[in-house]
Structure 1
Amino acid sequence: MKDKISIVGAGLVGSLLAVILKKKGFQVQIFEKRSDPRKSNVDAGRSINLALSHRGIRPLKLAGVFESIEPYLIPMNGRMMHDESGNLTFQPYGKEGQFINSVSRAQLNQLLVESAEEAGVEVLFDHKCIDVDFDENIIEFENGSKVASDLIIGTDGAFSAIRKKLQFTDRFNFSQHYIEHGYKELCIEPNNNDFGLEPNYLHIWPRGNFMLIALPNNDKTFTCTLFFPFEGSPSFESLSSKTDVDSFFEKYFKDAKELMPDIAEQFFSNPTSSLITTKCEPWHKNRSILLGDAAHAIVPFYGQGMNSGFEDVRIFIEMSEELNWNWDEILPKYSAERKKDADAISELALHNFIEMRDHVGDPTFLKRKKLEAQIQEKYPKEWIPLYSMVTFSDLPYSEALRLGKIQKRVMDEFLSTDDQNIDFQKIIDRFNTLKKGG
Structure 2
Amino acid sequence: MAQQITLIGGGLVGALLAQQLAGRGFKVDVFEKRPDPRVAGFVGGRSINLALAERGLQALRKAGLADDVLQRAVMMRGRMVHTRDGRSGLLRYGVDDSEVIWSVSRGALNMLLLDAAEAAGVRFHFGQSLTGADFDGGRIQLTDEHDQTRDFDTPVVIGADGAGSALRAAMNAHTPLGERVEPLGHAYKELEIPPAGGLSAALVGQSGGHDQFALEPHALHIWPRGGYMCIALPNTEGSFTVTLFLPAHGPHPSFDTLPDAAAARGFFGDEFPDLLPLIPDFAADYDSHPVGTLSTLYLQRWHLGGRALLVGDAAHAIVPFHGQGMNCGFEDTVVLAALLAEAPDDTAEVFAEFQRIRQPNSDAIAAMALENYVEMRDSVADPHFLAKRELGLLLAERAPQHFMARYRMVTFTHLPYAYAFERGRAQDLLLEQLLRGSTEAAAVDLTAAVATLKATLPPLPDLRHG
**What range describes the TM-score normalised by the shorter chain of this pair?**
over 0.9
- My pick for the range that moved more, 242-251 or 25-34, is 242-251
Q: Quick one: distance in 1 between partners of 2:13 and 2:42?
A: 18
Cα deviation code 1:147-204 (max 9, x no counterpart)? 1123211000001111111212345211001111111111100112711111000000
Displacement of 1:38 in angstroms is 2.6
For 1:360, what is the secondary structure of its paired residue? helix
**What is the CA–CA distance in structure 2 between the aligned matches of 1:346 and 1:45, rounded to whole Å?**
20
Q: Out of 234, 237, 241, which is 2:256 matched to?
A: 237
- The residue matched to 2:186 in structure 1 has which SS? strand
Contact 1:188–1:222 under 8 Å retained in 2: yes
User: Match of 2:366?
Assistant: 346
2:245 is the alignment partner of 1:227 = yes
More off after superposition, 52-61 vs 144-153? 144-153
Residue equivalent to 1:299 = 319
- Residues 127-146 of structure 1 correspond to what in structure 2 (within 5 A)? 127-142=128-143, 143-146=148-151
Contact 1:181 1:229 in 2 (8 A): yes
C-alpha offsets along residues 8-50 of structure 1, whole Å, 9 cap, x if unaligned? 0001000001111111111111100111223335646831100
Letter in 1 for 2:233: L
CA contact under 8 A between 2:384 and 2:437: conserved in structure 1? no
Alignment of 1:97-176 (within 5 A): 97=97, 98-142=99-143, 143-170=148-175, 172-176=177-181
Mapped to 2, the partners of 1:120 and 1:187 lie a distance apart of 38
Residue 431 of structure 1 aligns with which residue? 456
Deviates more, 1:416-425 or 1:62-71: 416-425
Deviation above 3 Å: which 4+ runs of structure 1? Answer: 39-46, 240-243, 321-325, 417-420, 433-436
Asked if structure 2 preserves the Cα contact closer than 8 Å seen for 1:45 and 1:185, the reply is: no
Call closer, same or farther: CA 1:420–1:308 in 2, change over 3 Å.
Answer: closer
Of 220, 226, 232, the match for 1:202: 220
Rounded to whole Å, the distance in 1 between the matches of 2:459 and 2:46 is: 43
2:230 alignment partner, SS class: strand
Change (3 A) 1:420 1:279: closer
* Aligned twin of 1:273: 292
Does structure 1 retain, via aligned residues, the 8 Å contact 2:435–2:444? no
Give per-residue Cα distances to partners, 1:40-78, cap 9 Å, x unaligned: 356468311000000001111111122222210111010
Partner of 2:279: 260
Label 1:402 to 1:420 Cα distance change in 2 as closer, same or farther (>3 A). closer
Q: Any residues of structure 2 matched to 1:17-416 within 5 Å, and which?
A: 17-41=17-41, 43=43, 46-97=46-97, 98-142=99-143, 143-170=148-175, 172-192=177-197, 194-231=212-249, 232-286=251-305, 287-323=307-343, 326-416=346-436
Give 2:172's aligned amino acid: Q
Q: Deviations over 1:281-327 (max 9, x none)?
A: 22111321111000000000000000000000011122233445531
How many Å separate the matches in 1 of 2:397 and 2:270?
Answer: 39
- Residues 5 and 44 of structure 1: is their aligned pair in 2 closer, same or farther, counting only changes over 3 Å? closer
The separation in 2 between residues aligned to 1:325 and 1:54, in whole angstroms, is 31
Alignment partner of 2:244: what SS? strand
Percent of aligned positions with the same letter in both sequences? 39
Tell me: CA distance 1:186–1:427, structure 2 relative to 1, closer, same or farther (3 Å). Answer: farther
How far, CA to CA, are the matches of 1:435 and 1:119 in structure 2?
Answer: 38
> What's the TM-score, normalizing by structure 1?
0.95
Comparing 322-331 with 19-28, greater Cα deviation is found at 322-331
CA distance in 1, matches of 2:103, 2:260: 32
1:207 CA drift (Å): 0.7
- Deviation by residue 1:234-276 (Cα, 9 ceiling, x = unmatched): 1111123433222111111111111112212211111111011
* CA apart distance, 1:424: 2.4
Partner Cα distance (2:224, 2:248) in 1: 17
Which stretch has the larger CA shift, 423-432 or 359-368?
423-432
Q: What is the Cα deviation at residue 217 of structure 1?
A: 0.6
Displacement of 1:417 in angstroms is 6.3
Distance in 2, matches of 1:32 and 1:291, equals 15
Q: TM-score scaled to structure 2, two decimals? A: 0.90
What is the alpha-carbon distance in structure 1 between the residues aligned to residue 258 and residue 88 of structure 2?
27
Aligned with 1:72: secondary structure?
coil
**Conserved? CA contact 1:53–1:391, under 8 Å:** yes
**Alpha-carbon separation, structure 2, partners of 1:236 and 1:168:** 34
The gaps in structure 1 that reach 5 residues or longer are none
The 8 Å contact of residues 57 and 66 in structure 2, kept in 1 or not, is answered as yes
Distance in 1 (CA, whole Å) between partners of 2:46 and 2:177 is 31
More deviation, 58-67/153-162: 58-67
* Number of residue pairs the alignment of both structures matches: 436
CA RMSD of aligned residues (A): 1.9
1:332: how far off? 1.1
SS, match of residue 58 in structure 1 = helix
Letter in 2 for 1:206: P
Asked if 2 retains the 8 angstrom alpha-carbon contact of 1:406 and 1:431, the reply is no
Q: What residue identity is the alignment partner of 2:217?
A: P
For 2:420 and 2:286, how far apart are their aligned partners in 1?
A: 38
Offset at 1:431? 3.3
Specify the alignment match of 2:206 in structure 1: none
Is the 8 Å Cα contact of residues 434 and 444 (structure 2) preserved in structure 1?
no
Give the deviation of 1:94 after TM superposition: 1.0
317-326 vs 263-272, which moves further: 317-326
Name the SS of the counterpart of 2:451 in structure 1: helix
| Distance in structure 2 (CA, Å) of the matches to 1:4 and 1:249 | 53
